[in-house]
Each structure stands twice: as C-alpha cells, then as structure tokens.
Amino acid sequence: MGALPIRDRAVRAWGAALSVAIALHALGAVASSGPDDIGWQRCAETRVVVRAADRRDADDACQGARRPIDFFNRLELRADEPIIVEIVSELPDIVSPTAAGAFLKSEGRVLLQTYEKFRTNGTWFEVPVDRRLYQSAATHEIAHALALDNFRTPAPTIEAMEYIAYVTQFATMEESQRRQVLAAIPGDGFTDEVEMSTVIYMLAPMRFAAEAYRHYLKPGNGAVFLRAVLSGVALGD
Ligand SMILES: [Zn+2]
C-alpha cells in the first residue's frame, strides 16, 4: 500500500524540480536563494537531481549517488528511481545528531548536510572527515531511496533499511578509507539476525554499520542475504 503513493509523489516532485531546472537553464539563469546558489543540477546519466549552494557539494552528492546506482545495477535491482537531493546547512530536529543526512521516506527526498557543516563533526565513523567520507554519506541516503523501490514488504523494519544502506555505503566506499573505518570499529561481524535489532542499531549506529558489512561479507550472505532482506524474509517483523 505504501510504496506507490510515495513513488508517485517522488515522480511528481522530480518532474517539477526538473521543469524548474530546465526553465531556469532556458532563461540562462540560476535559482537563487543565496548569492552562491547553483540551483538544481542533474547528476550525469542518472535520474538524480541535486540542489546545493556549493558546486563542489553538488558534485560530491553526484559522485555519492553514482555508487549505489551501480551497486544496485550489479545486483540486478531497480536503480532508476528519480531522486531529489537537497544539500542543507541544518537537518530537521528529528534526525539523529550523528547523521550527516536523512531520507525523508514520506516525501521521497534526500537531505544532506553541507560539507562545511559535515566537517564540524571532526570525525565520522571514528576517522577524520574528508570529501570521500562526505560522498559516502550521500551514498548511504541515496541507497535508502533506492532500496524503497526494491522492498517487497510493505513496512520494512529499521534494521532492514539500515542494513541495506550501510552495506551499500561500505561496499562502495573507497578501499583505503573502508579499511581505515573497519580498523577503527573492530569486530567479527554479526552472526545472526537476532543481533541486528532496532535497539542495537539505535544504541550504536556506527558499530551496527561496520558489523552489518562484516556480516554481508561472510560466506553465504552477500547478495543472497540482501535479497532476503528486501523481500522481508530476513530482518522482517
Ligand atoms: Zn540510514
């Protein structure tokens, strides 16, 4: 019941955003909510549009978007959902303080902090923040948006949604950075589903992320387990 209206809204919103972008290009103008606002930008060869005040932030969001799309395509999952990304200096209060972005499921919209704001964290996943880590934050939120189009269960659990988003983020992270993050958050990986509960995620989301990725790497898991999560067979209610 839930997925279709959300998708419809996302499509309509995406269409509106593109229309705005196209109209502004036709006028030779940029959308201006600030002196440096570059307005809407479409990420090349994707159906992702980004709005940012800083071109480098928009480019990073596009880099971050390309990776989950490629990852989903390799797994033969749907990855052509139109996605709207807005880069903002403040996230809504409902978002966890450790988050660098958010996927607003009801609106089909991704929010990502500006890099300027993101870097004030100093570290993220226990390693110093840099542009590569910022791109991976975009990857995480966009993976949430893509996953929604692939779930075959009407109400995926939080742990199911986060498993998909973190595995996608880690699997597509630049290799030396992934090694650094995993070294900073040691563990042997989750061994079964009971360990991947909402409570465990809420208590320590970054540890959940690293342990979920290690679980994904274990023999027999990988794409098979990802598909089981999407179908609701694994990490369901
Ligand atoms: Zn998430």
Say if residues 13 and 109 touch (Cβ distance below 8 Å). Answer: yes
Q: At what angle do helices 222-231 and 158-171 cross, to 10 degrees?
A: 150
Structure tokens at 121: 């964290």
Q: How many CB atoms lie within 10 A of CB 130?
A: 14
How remote is the CA of residue 140 from the centroid of ligand 1, in Å? 6
Domains of the chain in start order, with CATH, are: 31-140 (3.30.2010), 158-231 (no CATH)
Question: Which tokens sit at 41?
Answer: 């930008």
Q: How far is the CA of 227 from the centre of ligand 1 (A)?
A: 18
- Pair 104, 3: CB distance under 8 Å: no
Instruction: Give CA–CA dist 147/144, Å, rounded.
Output: 5
Residue type, 52: A
Q: Which residues surround ligand 1, an ion (CB under 5 A)?
A: 162, 165
**For the chain, give me the number of helices (H) and strands (E)?**
9, 7
* CA-wise closest residue to 225 among 185, 189, 175, 198: 189
Q: What is the model's pLDDT at position 31?
A: 38
CA distance 70 to 99: 24
Closest CA to 158 of 198, 118, 131, 122: 198
CA of 28 to the centre of ligand 1 (A): 37
pLDDT in tens, the chain (237 residues): 333 333 344 444 444 444 433 333 333 333 334 445 678 999 999 999 999 999 999 999 999 999 999 999 999 999 998 999 999 999 988 888 778 999 998 888 999 999 999 999 999 999 999 999 999 999 999 999 999 999 999 999 999 999 999 999 999 999 999 999 999 999 999 999 999 999 999 999 999 999 999 999 999 999 999 999 999 999 998
Q: What is the pTM of this model?
A: 0.85
